[in-house]
Structure 1
Amino acid sequence: MNAIGDFLRARRALVSPADAGLPDAGERRVPGLRREELAAAAGVSVDYYVRLEQGRDRHPSTQVLDALARALKLDDDGAAHLHRLAAPPRTKRGDLPRGVRELVERNPAPALAWGHRMDVLAASPLAVALTPMYRPGTNLARAFFLDPSVRQLHPGWEAMARNVTALVRARTAVPDPGLDELIAELTEASPDFARLWPRHDVRTTAAPRKVFRHRLAGELTLGRELLNVPGGEWTVLIYHAEPGSRSANALARLG
């Protein structure tokens, strides 16, 4: 497996010559920048960049990674992911801390926690009332792409599909055979996931607001806070509604 090379190739294909400040030389055989163009933009030799793409050098310096991130026009999440791919593999796992579980399960707001493979580990009652997708034991990525009822729940499904795919991609920096199996399953079973996965988009945060189209409560617009728990591969999500809003009243009825 050559995770760094795969990421560099995919992202290089998404940078146009115009984005890199290069003159238009007419139609190209393949999209994006050539290897020598990206190497020049990053200030590294073509031979060294080729070694990175081919996986013959897997430990570039921090300075080289920063230069490549700038040349590839990566955002903060993409740059951080590139650095994680070059870091020594981490395999630390463990149970969701008891305090975090209690915080989530006793939360009066819709709240949930998931692990490295995006399996829901804990959820508040209101989160499950909002959508069964948040029930503990559910895999968020599998439910999102393979459960038709989830598509009906999200009016902005395409934008969310990009975000969920990018959240899964961010987790690939930590070796996990179980995650590899999930990705293979989604690639085979979901044309949408298979279309988005080769882009190598990376995201560790969520949009500040999300719209649900609930079959009983109607449309709800909720703010959300995404928190990464230190010391593990756990994430906590808490939703909230504007006080006095229709969405707040709808949440109260669901509760």
Structure 2
Amino acid sequence: MAEYLRVRRGRIGPADVGLPTGPGIRRAPGLRREELAALAGVSVDYYARLEQGRETAPSDAVLDALARALRLTDDEHAHLFALADRVAGRSARRRPATPRPVGPGVRLLLESVRPGPAYVLNETNDVLAANPEGLALMPGLDDWPPGRRNTVRYTFLHPTARMVFADWNRVARNCVAHLRTVEPSAPEATAELVAELSAADEEFAALWDRHEVLVKRGGATMFDHPVIGRVTLANEVLTTADHGRRLLLYQAAPGTAEHDALVLLSMTAEGAIAP
């Protein structure tokens, strides 16, 4: 939480909040501690303790005030609360000792949405299940054993990913922001994945240090696919009854060129798995 506050303070300048820059050269970008403390209505000493990690139980009112002063989005505001809860030991999630397997109902759903590529993901984007089109949409994902199939790992470490995702920079940034968002609720799994990717990819490490957060709610992704060419697919993210699991679905309206592309992808996927 302390690091998050420091990073976010460094990204807000005096002009952003209507303050004069003042005389002299600033030693660091962003607001000074005393400026942010004044905007949030807390003492400079109290805010300094927050950034130094010596104050671990800020009230909801203080967190709200800091979020307003830092111009946080709704997702970033919620992330600040989640970090504070983690530091204070509040609302800790209890997890089963062994993850439950993906049930037959969810697997039937993966079949029902074909030819739309679909995946069942956990909080850190491990691929728990996928339909044939899902594996075909990310070429090479099924080269890895099931335990290593993870869409964030694929984005940064698989050599095909930078060609398949036409806007790789945006996809990569969103992946890292998602991991930051789920970190408070899945700290151990996130830390393990972050350590691996930070050691293997400098771009991941740099993005991780930005402390951006993002709750994925659907959108559109452009692909440069070796089989179906350049195509933009809408995607939706749906939560399942199992805690922390989500269904990621790519789709296109029937009768469109994008839907024809998905039909072609499905045909090639079926051909690949027929033997």
TM-score by length of 2: 0.85
Higher-Rg structure is 2
In structure 1, list runs of 5 or more residues that go unmatched.
Answer: none
- Percent identity of equivalent pairs: 46
Deviates further, 90-99 or 32-41: 90-99
For 1:219 and 1:8, the matched residues in 2 are separated by 40
2:106: which partner in 1? 100
- 1:72-221 matches, cutoff 5 A: 72-87=70-85, 88=90, 89-93=92-96, 94-95=99-100, 98=103, 99-108=105-114, 109-132=116-139, 135=142, 136-137=146-147, 138-206=149-217, 208-221=219-232
Residues 119 and 139, structure 1, Cα contact 8 Å, conserved in 2:
yes
Stretch moving more, 88-97 or 162-171: 88-97
Q: Say if 1:219 and 1:206 are closer, same or farther in 2 by CA, change over 3 A.
A: farther
- Please tell me the root mean square deviation across aligned C-alpha atoms, in Å: 1.9
- Tell me how far apart the structure 1 counterparts of residues 101 and 7 of structure 2 sit (CA, whole Å): 34
Matched, 1:14 2:11: yes
User: How far is the alpha carbon of 1:101 from its aligned partner?
Assistant: 4.0
Structure 2 contact 178–215 (Cα < 8 Å) conserved: yes
Q: Which residue of 2 aligns with 1:29?
A: 27
Structure 1: 4+ residue segments shifted above 6 A = none
Contact 2:235 2:248 in 1 (8 A): yes
Counterpart-to-counterpart distance in 1, 2:141 and 2:206: 25
Any idea what SS the aligned residue of 1:233 has? coil
| Contact 1:123–1:134 under 8 Å retained in 2 | no
The 1:133/1:6 distance shift into structure 2, 3 A limit, reads farther
Residue 175 of structure 1 and its aligned partner are, at CA, apart by: 4.7
Aligned counterparts of 1:253 and 1:139: Cα–Cα separation in 2: 25
Q: How many residues align?
A: 252
